[in-house]
């Protein structure tokens, strides 16, 4: 079994880390730089920073706050929000990011994935997908921070994204987001079985067992979580110890 990654996520709004449920009812948590420093010291394998209104407000990510976090972390740092051009990639990488997450910008211009992977390498290009189950039982891709529905099938979009050059997929279940009832295993399995690049699960962590289930049942390469870490309901050290005891390969 390849080593699995534990990845805290900072959803940032107006320079503050926030968290809600199903992309609504956002509550203030803390400032991103201090949280990034804490997670870097706590044993997180990576850190993800999303400027959650950049796309809907049609602006580039807040570079000031990315810079502040980059100075505090000593682990791989992935940044997303309002990334629409190669120039956006360049600016964000120059201030300290290791990977760039594209979501709405890639849906609107799929060629961005190919351009970025050719210039910076596929390992730098993360395709983030916000998916919501529809009445037919499949999943639609949503953009602009989960605000706008598209007619794109999430599984097909993941496959196309990899063909275009994405080196990793982050799949977030809007149904499960912030609910702490567990990850959408069916969605995760559909993605991991469809692509041959690392898949990161997002949305739904509430217990130690939820992390274990996503790894063992859906074969994801990493687990992304927010509120369960932010509110100190579970520490990364405790989680890693638990998963290790279950025979799951974890970076110590």
- Reply yes or no on whether 31 is catalytic: no
Q: Which residue in 32, 131, 118 sits closest to 79, CA to CA?
A: 32
Q: Which residue in 47, 64, 58 sits closest to 85, CA to CA?
A: 58
Give the integer Cα–Cα distance in Å for 146 and 130.
6
Point out the catalytic residue in the list 11, 88, 177, 184: 11
Three-state secondary structure call for residue 128: strand
Residue 36 CA from chain centroid, whole number: 15
Asked if 178 contacts 167 with a C-beta cutoff of 8 angstroms, the reply is no
Tokens representing 161? Answer: 């994204």
Give the integer Cα–Cα distance in Å for 218 and 216.
6
Point out the catalytic residue in the list 51, 130, 177, 184: 130
Tokens representing 230? Answer: 């932010």
Which residues fall within 8 angstroms of residue 69, CB to CB, at 6 or more apart? 10, 32, 33, 36, 47, 49, 77, 96
Q: Which residue in 75, 133, 146, 159 sits closest to 104, CA to CA?
A: 146
Give the integer Cα–Cα distance in Å for 84 and 223.
26
Give the residue numbers annotated as catalytic, written as ranges: 11, 130
């Amino acid at each position: 079994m390849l080593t699995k990654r534990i990845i805290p996520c900072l959803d940032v709004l107006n320079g503050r880390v926030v968290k809600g449920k199903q992309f609504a009812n956002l509550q203030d948590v803390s400032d991103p730089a201090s949280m990034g420093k804490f997670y870097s010291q706590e044993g997180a394998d990576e850190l993800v920073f999303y400027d959650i209104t950049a796309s809907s407000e049609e602006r580039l990510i807040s570079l000031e706050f990315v810079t502040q976090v980059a100075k505090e972390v000593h682990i791989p740092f992935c940044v997303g929000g309002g990334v629409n051009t190669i120039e956006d990639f360049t600016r964000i990488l120059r201030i300290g990011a290791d990977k760039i997450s594209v979501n709405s910008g890639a849906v609107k211009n799929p060629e961005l994935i190919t351009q970025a992977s050719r210039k910076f390498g596929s390992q730098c290009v993360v395709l983030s997908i916000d998916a919501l189950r529809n009445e037919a039982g499949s999943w639609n891709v949503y953009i602009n921070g989960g605000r706008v529905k598209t007619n794109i099938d999430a599984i097909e979009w993941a496959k196309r994204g990899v063909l275009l050059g994405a080196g990793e997929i982050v799949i977030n279940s809007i149904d499960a987001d912030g609910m702490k009832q567990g990850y959408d295993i069916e969605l995760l399995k559909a993605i991991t079985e469809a692509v041959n690049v690392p898949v990161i699960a997002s949305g739904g962590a509430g217990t130690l067992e939820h992390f274990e289930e996503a790894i063992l049942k859906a074969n994801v390469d990493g687990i992304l979580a927010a509120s369960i870490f932010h509110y100190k309901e579970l520490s990364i050290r405790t989680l890693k110890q638990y998963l290790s005891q279950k025979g799951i390969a974890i970076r110590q």
